[in-house]
Amino acid sequence: MKVNRIGRSIGAEITGVDLENLGPQEFQGILDAFHGNSVIAIRDQDLEPGELVDFSRRFGPLEDQLNARYALVEHPEVLVLSNDMKDGKPVGLIDGGDFWHSDSSHREKPSLATILHARQNPRHGGDTEFADMYRAYETLPDEMKKRIAGLKGIHAVSKAKNKRVTISARRPDAKDHYEMQKSIPDQAWPLVRTHPVTGKKALYLSARFTIGIEGMSEEEADAILDPLFEHQIRPEFVYAHKWKDGDLVIWDNRCVMHRGTGGYTYPDVRTMHRTVVAGDRPF
Ligand SMILES: [Fe+2]
């Protein structure tokens, strides 16, 4: 097994490993690469959904999928992300992840990791970008570090509650979906969290999910959030993954944000299988 850094501060590729036959020592190697690089791309994998679930569970229990209608019937832990159509209807979630975010930060127990397996890559576009939230925190001016210490961001799942995002017109049911989600309770998490394994501090907020700061007016909160949102996606923190056939990518939601960059149009099809590893309450 070989691990090569491919991004500046995050992102590594792993070759020479077969996830269908993975010994405990090799898994430990993958885990170490995951903690050391925050985003890892394991090349040349051909996993059936059941095998993807078995491998994913080695990281911990899996989350149930909020968009259950696009999960696989036989493997409900696997969500289909796709722009493919069948009988005029989408076969998967089309507009997933188009704004910067950390998966499930709106949940009571936000996600530890997300695993994406490329089933079909488009001929154009379809990159996934990742931003290093350790570096984003480390490079903040001391004044800002002091200002945000102890503050909690409010995370909301519904796009209808967030003035910084728009609802995709490509998904016919999206508007009703987000209206319905308005009643789901928000969560409050430290703007700076400590990674439970590495012990390092990371910025933990995103334009997609963070809509305010606990105990602050909108105006006060915006004066802090807007510069942070701008800072945390500086190009030097970003690794853009260009997908190869057979790629399986795992990222650490506790210390990276991500987004899909789009740039492909049906009938140029992009299909991914996704599992999400559940995490603990950020501190
Ligand atoms: Fe995501």
Q: pLDDT tens across 132-160, in order?
A: 999 999 999 999 999 999 999 999 999 99
What span, in angstroms and rounded, lies between the C-alpha atoms of 50 and 74? 9
What span, in angstroms and rounded, lies between the C-alpha atoms of 163 and 75? 35
Confidence check: pLDDT of 112 > 90: yes
Task: State residue 67's pLDDT score.
Answer: 78
For ligand 1, the distance from its centroid to the CA atom of residue 167, given in whole angstroms, is: 15
pLDDT tens per residue, range 62-87: 998 877 889 999 999 999 999 999 99
Contact 153, 210 (CB under 8 A): yes
| CATH code assigned at 49 | 3.60.130.10
Query: Is residue 205 one of the residues assigned to a domain?
Result: yes
Which pTM was predicted? 0.96
Beta-carbon count within 10 A of 228 CB: 21
For ligand 1, the distance from its centroid to the CA atom of residue 71, given in whole angstroms, is: 15
- What pLDDT band is residue 176 in, cutting at 50, 70 and 90? confident
- List the strands of the sheet with 2-5, edge to edge: 2-5, 12-15, 39-42, 248-252, 111-120, 271-278, 79-82
For ligand 1, the distance from its centroid to the CA atom of residue 128, given in whole angstroms, is: 10
For ligand 1, the distance from its centroid to the CA atom of residue 97, given in whole angstroms, is: 5
Query: Is residue 167 one of the residues assigned to a domain?
Result: yes
pLDDT tens per residue, range 177-204: 888 899 999 999 999 999 999 999 999 9
Number of domains in the chain: 1
- Mean pLDDT of the chain, nearest integer: 96
- At 112, give phi and psi (nearest 5°): -80, -55
Give the range of the structural domain holding residue 242, as residue numbers without chain letter. Answer: 2-278
Query: Is residue 283 one of the residues assigned to a domain?
Result: no
Task: State residue 68's pLDDT score.
Answer: 84
For ligand 1, the distance from its centroid to the CA atom of residue 26, given in whole angstroms, is: 27
